[in-house]
Amino acid sequence: MTPTDVQMLLASASYYTSAIDGDPGPKTMAAVAVTERNAAADSTSWSKARRLIAAGQRILNAQGFEAGLVDGYAGHNTAEALTAWRSARAGASAAVERVASPHQPDAASIPTQAECSTYYGQPGTDEIRNQLVYVTLPFDLRIDWALDQTTRRIRVHAKAAASLERALLAVFDHYGSDDMRDLGIDRFAGSYVERRMRGGASWSMHSYGCAVDFYAAPNALRLRCPHALFCGAAYKPLLDIMQANEWLPALRLWGADAMHFQRARM
């Protein structure tokens, strides 16, 4: 998200009426401050760059484009929300085609996407929120959009937790911390969040607590092989291990969105 993007977002919400010039000067920052006051936000002590992105995230969320947590970091949720916002302004569709691969992974022990509401619960309600747990790992994962921050905990549905823990421990046993870091496999890009599928009306698999993302930028939602990083030979063991533990790679489900793994079939 560039300063120009933020100025356009601010202008769309009538907070900013000056030139869209990409220069976040006093008028732009005054508009940013308005969004902070309106949200009673504690972001005024953040860096200028983070304050700008946070203002853009607030406007995207307010206009229904689901940028996610307002944290001032432009991760993949923010990027996709911005893509949807730009597309809507241009009268274009941001829909993402998810056509099932003809060679689906064999995983009859887990639900299909259509069965997730019965199996996991209804997104947006306490039926799922009350079943969320943390998988705690014995190694660090870097936060993909803020690499100076780490976590050892991933929040998912209780019915998906044990299999995710087994999968990630097996990934760690195979690669080790150095190779995981060198390959970017340790870059955690998100798990549970309540939102709709990008470019669609159905609930995202993340809303059921049965999806997790890693290393978003080179494995983005719209990238397919051979362009996505996880299509490379070094990542085949990652895909194999996750699949063997019931966490199916989107690459093998619909051929894109390589960052994404889910405990649900198509």
Give residue limits of the domains in the chain: 3-89, 113-262
Give the model confidence (pLDDT) of 144-171 as tens digits: 999 999 999 999 999 999 999 999 999 9
Contact by Cβ (8 Å): 167, 242: yes
Contact assessment for residue 76 and residue 216, using Cβ atoms and an 8 Å cutoff: yes
User: What are 204-207's contacts with CB under 8 Å, separation 24+?
Assistant: 205/113, 205/116, 205/260, 205/262, 205/264, 207/123, 207/124, 207/128
Assign a CATH topology to domain 113-262: Muramoyl-pentapeptide Carboxypeptidase; domain 2 (3.30.1380)
| 256 DSSP assignment | B
pLDDT tens digits, residue range 50-80?
999 999 999 999 999 989 889 999 988 899 9
Coil vs helix vs strand at 228: coil
pTM: 0.86
> What number is the average pLDDT over the span 250-261?
96
Tokens read off for 198: 């990008």
